[in-house]
A and B are shown apart, each in its own frame.
Chain A
């Protein structure tokens, strides 16, 4: 029973939608058609006794009653009327009325067949199920001209029109009535509501000098009214050369929506319409509230508000300008991403380009635009503002510092959104980094550093990195770690940029290859610089585990350049870093080192294979030095961790020396069992194997137990070690 009913309702509502879409052009929305359809449907489910259908039936009768008008001679005239009104109200507030019913009832309400009170009640329940037909509105407006309805009814009608504006299926014909509505401004009682309607209706072509003059006259007559201000500022927005208005800063609300009688019905209507009106995707990026710092000059927040440009400042327009301005989309109407895509060729750009910082939709536009002047406008504004707002030009003002960090955060967020750095920020760093105390706005500065656009390291070094180094060496370990983190991000951004660019370009052009080599050179210089910083930092911080983590994090990026980014670059870490990591007392460092060695091995193998394949083409040749160096690292690791023969192949130490030092049992001391960072794991493993043992004998771990021990380590999360052993050591199963 239930299922039958729901399908029935579904089909009906879909039919209804169809009808609306068909009917919109053909203007056939009469009651007859509605009745025929209605009859068919009720026939299909004869035994339906649901309350809904009962209500629909009552509504049907009610509409018929209203259309015919009250019977003069009827005895219980009032009760019948009341009954029918009730049934209309019931359906309206529960499910909404069909566009046909609204068409009929609207005409009834405005034609003056009934008294004022009834008209008011009818108008108040004109809630559509989905949409209102444009023709109904046009018809209703024509009733206004007949002059059969009272002033109050007119007011209510305009209020209804404003409230339901979004639910009218088309607005083209309504817009043709613009002149009529505009004339209604004369009526003092109607004026606020007509203003609101015009505010919703106005298009660029509606703004005419005679209308501007009329509005200004009204303003003189009525004084500073918010609704007039709203309409005037919209006019100014469309035609800045005709009118000038400056609005008080605080005013944001022009129209009082609290008096919306239909507010409670709107959510349900929107829900019913969801199919027809998809919610615009939420793409808000910037903070919604502006900065509170009152800037001296006109703009009240650091970033100016979005305003479209004053085009047509008397400048000569080309033909294409004329064509495009005809259809151009004002920025304030830009709400959704699909809308942006449709209008991307005819967007009116903001008068102050930098206002895009707070608008994620326009940032998408900026991201794909190829106009240098747009970027230059951004560049100049941003450079100036960064410099002017920068706190150490006007020090000792906490409030200002907060403003500045907030502003930097916005800029950084935009850079992350666009996935590229601004040149202004780079230029700002040139100026401010030499003066930086390494403390104020630390996180922001380091993030700006990470987004420096790719450029020649040789050129940037004296301007940035030479100033960064002394700060790095003299600051705390936490500062060192954050700098390394930022440099890792910088490397990653450069690599991403280069890998994208390298693929865009045709590979055959010869000048490119030299510049690709040049850019690889620049990257490798950056890596060398970080290596140099790291080596000194390791000594300064006496092998701090935390620091080593950050250093190895950086090299996790470095070791994978060839495979992950498909760029011809292989740089190894300096021996100091290798040895510090190998001899670290922290097991996770050792694990990380194993992982890096494993990745280096993969990258080198891939490079070698490629090198053999296309020797003639690639300019990049795998130098034998790198291979030798890597082999040294690999040998040392295998000998120490696995073969228990340290100091034989790689690091050679004269046995005599060790003997003199009183170290006799050194062979095992760096293997997987005895390595200082793994010793505790070995002990745990043995305890787990034989919990009763009182003394632990490390030499027990060998042969089969060695393998079990390895599995134990892997289960403890030594994934790097696992990959390293699997790739570099051939394990023979020992029975």
Chain B
């Protein structure tokens, strides 16, 4: 028997029980419920946990992690993938490489499985997730197979993208099993390639990508949370960028602080152990503002925060992030996942 046949979907809409409307039984109802919750608590929950090293991280392949660090990723939100299967990676590679080859020579048909000058590799990123319920993250790489690289056995990486979900419970509980929720997509490589490959995913798995911009509000949260992280040694200075819109060129203000000073400032405003609250974030930023004003007589609060970089990670308002510290990889991704889920709700 086909398992799908015996599965009788609980009624919906016109034919559905009135009760469903109050209990929220169908997946769509659950979605709407969750959107309502989200909308009522706009803009964001007033408190979050400070990122910690989690147990799960231990199983992460260090080589793969190294591959993810120190690269600039453009982030996108992604709606759940329909009928995506981890066991079909080979097939997907074949189809995607044929698709890319066909797109490159528009109008000419190509046989799937033929040998092209590119190679597509799908692979899982074991351990890049928050809980066991989060679906496994996976990586897509496009390699070029030029004559010289063929001899060396490895091709030059043209484009990389990965899909992940870290602590995505709020999304997971509202979808049926036909969907795979990987709301955060990060890409590195030519934009044209991203749109090509994104287009293929959209067509194949009926999903929807959208660029994930990070608002100044969220950037200050990142600044506070990442400053709060305990570090063995600091790799980079803590730096902020503000943008003043004026003609003919916009004025950028950079504000660099020694990471230990930033941590000291944070410790002075921080009260609740293990958590970051909205008041603490505001206070932290206000302290920076007033310090700056004392020296330069410029009200930074009247400008726009566009970039934050710390030893943990750096983020730009255009939706670009770079993760520096492997210890807090999961923590950074958790917050990015939260933002991505907020965008697709």
Contacts and interface: CB of A to CB of B under 8 A. Distances in A.
A315 B88 contact: yes
Given A372-B9, A511-B19, A423 B107 contact: no
Contact of B203 (A351, A387, A498, A515): A351
A169 to B, nearest CB: 34
Contact of A248 (B14, B39, B107, B110): B107
B248 interface: no
24 contacts: A228-B109, A232-B109, A241-B94, A243-B98, A243-B109, A246-B102, A248-B106, A297-B195, A297-B209, A299-B202, A319-B2, A351-B204, A352-B206, A376-B27, A379-B28, A383-B344, A423-B28, A423-B31, A430-B39, A459-B36, A501-B14, A515-B21, A516-B18, A518-B18
B178 interface: yes
B15 interface: yes
B195 A318 contact: no
Contact of B95 (A296, A313, A423, A459): A313
A454 B19 CA distance: 12
A57 B101 CA distance: 63
Interface string B16-38: 11110110001110011001100
B293 interface: no
Given A352-B202, A377-B82, A384-B208, A216 B39 contact: no
A375 B16 CA distance: 14
Nearest to A298: B199
Nearest to A514: B19
B176 A376 contact: yes
A669 B5 CA distance: 74
Q: Which 6 A-B pairs have the closest CB atoms?
A: A298-B199, A314-B91, A245-B109, A244-B98, A380-B79, A232-B109
A322 to B, nearest CB: 10
A434 B196 CA distance: 36
A514 to B, nearest CB: 9
Contact of B12 (A228, A236, A251, A375): A375
Interface in A198-250: 212-213, 215-216, 219, 224, 228-229, 232-233, 236, 240-248
Contacts, number: 198
B272 interface: no
Interface string A384-409: 11011000000000000000000000
A576 interface: no
What is the interface of chain A mostly: helix, strand, loop, or mixed? Answer: helix
B28 A500 contact: no
B11 interface: yes
Interface of B: 2-5, 9, 11-19, 21-22, 26-28, 31-32, 35-36, 39-40, 42, 79-80, 82-83, 85, 88, 90-92, 94-95, 98-99, 101-103, 106-112, 175-176, 178-179, 195-196, 198-200, 202-204, 206-210, 343-345
Contacts of B178: 373
Given A213-B111, A229-B109, A247-B107, A240 B95 contact: yes
Contacts of B19: 511-512, 515
Nearest to B39: A430
A61 to B, nearest CB: 52
Nearest to A317: B2
B32 A377 contact: no
Nearest to B191: A296
B82 A370 contact: no
A477 interface: no
A216 B109 contact: yes
Nearest to B97: A244
Given A298-B195, A379-B28, A380-B79, A246 B99 contact: yes
A307 interface: yes
B28 A375 contact: yes
Interface string A237-267: 0001111111110010000000000000000
B149 to A, nearest CB: 23
Nearest to A372: B27
Contacts of B14: 420, 497, 500-501, 504
B296 to A, nearest CB: 32
Interface in A351-367: 351-353
Interface in A143-200: none
A310 interface: yes
B90 A373 contact: no
Contacts of A380: 79-80, 207-208, 344
B32 A462 contact: no
B210 A216 contact: no
A233 B209 CA distance: 26
A29 B150 CA distance: 66
A385 B208 CA distance: 8
Given A212-B111, A298-B195, A384-B210, A318 B28 contact: no
